[in-house]
Amino acid sequence: MIKVEQLTKKYPGVTAISDLSFEVGKGEIVGFLGPNGAGKSTTMRILSSFMPATSGRASIAGHDVFSDSLRARMHLGYLPESVPLYGDMRVSEYLRYRGSLKGLSGKKLRNRVEVVKELCSVKDVENQLIATLSKGYRQRVGLAEALVHEPDLLILDEPTIGLDPNQIRQVRELIKSLGERHTILLSTHILSEVEMTCSRVIIIHRGKIEASDTPENLVGQIRTSGTVKVEAKTGSDDPVQMIEKIPGVKNVSVNMEDGWQQCSIRVEANSDLREAIFRLAIARHWVVRELTQERATLEDVFVELTQADD
């Protein structure tokens, strides 16, 4: 659905993206991640024909976004980070207007407007001026506009920015349901959402792709330290000195609460030292009420890849 080949965008004195190459297959939900200034929005704007590239090629559904942009855009619904809406138009009026610009008319236009209002939960504000809507509703109207012409591909740039937790959950569920019928390229800083929503992740840093794989595979390849949590009553023992003697332990920090020692133990990457710690606790007659290993997350992967050389 998306094919990008050696895409580069240069500004005076700055290279925003450099030789990007990736593909997004039909039916995929792909997370497009990176720190601020990494080149995510630049790439999305090029794919949506909002701006030209300096060099390279990009196509949507087989149509070149530069030489055949009208056909490419027929297959695309784009929700930019700052949704450009007409505040003095009512929701239904705006969706009809945008649908007509995208080639819809008559009964099909009316039907599609009704469908996207229901799908994006803006039916209850259909007669309100857009300027009077909350941030959450404006995001939903922007998403409804991106969907009105039934595109094959959705490019969503920070679709949950500025939303409260309930609204974020609603948008996440909507994106997952849309993934059953659309290909989706999703940019967001909420990495837990990506883990729950996306089948694949592309991480971009300083204009170049650092990783492309499933969230599970990326987490499995992480090289950073893991963490084991222990909560125990250790009597007169100093748990820090004893735990630090276990091979594979990097450091130990302790907090005391109501007589319980709460130990956070940094261990070498891909190490599980819970058995060794448990054997130590038995030998020293500690009373243990928690012994857990924290699972690495996509956030850990993101930090490792984007801060390694900062």
CATH 3.40.50.300 fits 2-220, yes or no: yes
25-34, 136-145, 152-161, 213-222: least confidently modelled range = 213-222
Mean pLDDT of 41-62: 93
| Helix segments in the chain, DSSP class H | 40-47, 69-74, 91-101, 106-119, 135-147, 165-178, 191-197, 215-220, 239-243, 274-283, 298-307
211: nearest Cα among 308, 302, 309? 302
Highest-confidence range of 118-122, 167-171, 275-279, by mean pLDDT?
275-279
For the chain, give every domain's residue range. 2-220, 226-295
Percent of the chain with pLDDT over 70: 98
Tens of pLDDT, residues 162-213: 778 887 888 888 888 888 888 999 998 888 878 888 999 999 999 999 999 9
217 has a pLDDT exceeding 80? yes
Run of H or E residues at 183: strand 183-187
Angle between helices 106-119 and 135-147 (to 10 degrees): 140
* Helix-strand-coil split of the chain, %, nearest 5: 35, 30, 35
What sign does the dihedral 109-159-155-30 (CA atoms) show?
A: negative
Confidence of residue 116 (pLDDT cuts 50, 70, 90): very high
Provide, rounded to the nearest whole percent, the portion of the chain with pLDDT above 90: 65
For residue range 220-267, list pLDDT tens digits in order. 777 666 789 999 999 999 999 999 999 999 889 999 998 899 999 988
Q: Are 149 and 77 spatial neighbours (Cβ–Cβ below 8 Å)?
A: yes
| pLDDT above 60 for 308 | no
Q: What's the mean per-residue pLDDT of the chain?
A: 90
DSSP string over 148-180: TT--SEEEEESTTTT--HHHHHHHHHHHHHHTT
45, pLDDT greater than 70: yes
Strand partners for 230: 263, 291
Would you state the pLDDT for residue 221? 75
pLDDT reported for residue 224: 65
Q: To the nearest 10°, report the CA torsion of 132, 134, 135, 141.
A: -70
Q: What is the CATH superfamily name and number for domain 226-295? A: MTH889-like domain (3.30.70.1340)
**pLDDT tens column, 284-305:** 999 999 999 887 788 888 888 8
